[in-house]
Amino acid sequence: AQSVAQPEDQVNVAEGNPLTVKCTYSVSGNPYLFWYVQYPNRGLQFLLKYITGDNLVKGSYGFEAEFNKSQTSFHLKKPSALVSDSALYFCAVRPAGSNFNKFYFGSGTKLNVKP
Amino acid sequence: GAVVSQHPSRVICKSGTSVKIECRSLDFQATTMFWYRQFPKQSLMLMATSNEGSKATYEQGVEKDKFLINHASLTLSTLTVTSAHPEDSSFYICSARGQGYTDTQYFGPGTRLTVL
């Protein structure tokens, strides 16, 4: 079965400190991997994706993520957190093959950045 | 680019009535649109996938006669919640995947439905 895990419901970090939001997955084949951010009562905003190539991908608002095939992980990172980064973050995976249309989402991680 | 809009953003209706939610891709043609439902503090649940000009594909457990989806053009998909009940109250989000954006889904801002 295809699944995406975000093991932390909440991550707390002080402004200016680095942040990491974890994501691991279990899907067949070579997946496409995505991170989205959701602010209260809003839809999801695309942050970044990994399709192929360099394992470190850079995205919007200074975020980056590292694909680790052996650990089946795609952790989201930012060197220096901002209070405005506080939001709900979703990891998503699109498996290769017959389900190429379908995304599998993690349960979400709430990021709290404190001044 | 890749902007998706939803209308209305918020709707309150009486039990037994039907509600239509529109999802539009504003600057690209969306060959595929998706409808999700999100409960408070939970992840997104895919309800159905719609391709322009064809019938929607519903996920297991989603009633197709209750949640009618129409994808009449490359820029518009609609979700109609028929005979709404309080348990249908939720946050509904659409996303679109276009010809030029073959691997990324772009999401609308969501519609908050409250059924009294």
Q: Convert the pLDDT of each residue in A13-42 to its tens digit.
A: 999 999 999 999 998 778 899 999 999 878
The answer to whether A99 and A2 are in contact (CB under 8 A) is: yes
Q: Convert the pLDDT of each residue in B39-58 to its tens digit.
A: 877 788 999 999 888 889 99
- A39 in B contact zone (CB under 8 Å): no
DSSP assignment letter at A68? E
- A25 in B contact zone (CB under 8 Å): no
Average pLDDT, chain B: 90
B72 has a pLDDT exceeding 90: no
pLDDT score, position B97: 86
B1 has a pLDDT exceeding 80: no
User: Cα angle vertex B65, ends A98, B75, to 5°?
Assistant: 60
Q: Which of A82, A61, A65, A76 is nearest to A17 (CA)?
A: A82
Which residue type, as a one-letter code, is found at position B88? D
Cβ within 8 Å, pair B6-A34: no
B101 has a pLDDT exceeding 60: no
- Buried b or exposed e, range B12-41, using 16+ CB within 10 angstroms: ebeeeeebebbbbbeebebbbbbbbbbeee
- A3 in B contact zone (CB under 8 Å): no
DSSP assignment letter at B59? P
CA distances from A10 to A16, A88, B1, B106 (A): 18, 9, 31, 25
Cβ within 8 Å, pair A41-B91: yes
pLDDT score, position B90: 94
pLDDT score, position B31: 83
Q: Convert the pLDDT of each residue in A65-94 to its tens digit.
A: 999 999 999 999 999 999 999 999 999 998
pLDDT score, position A59: 94
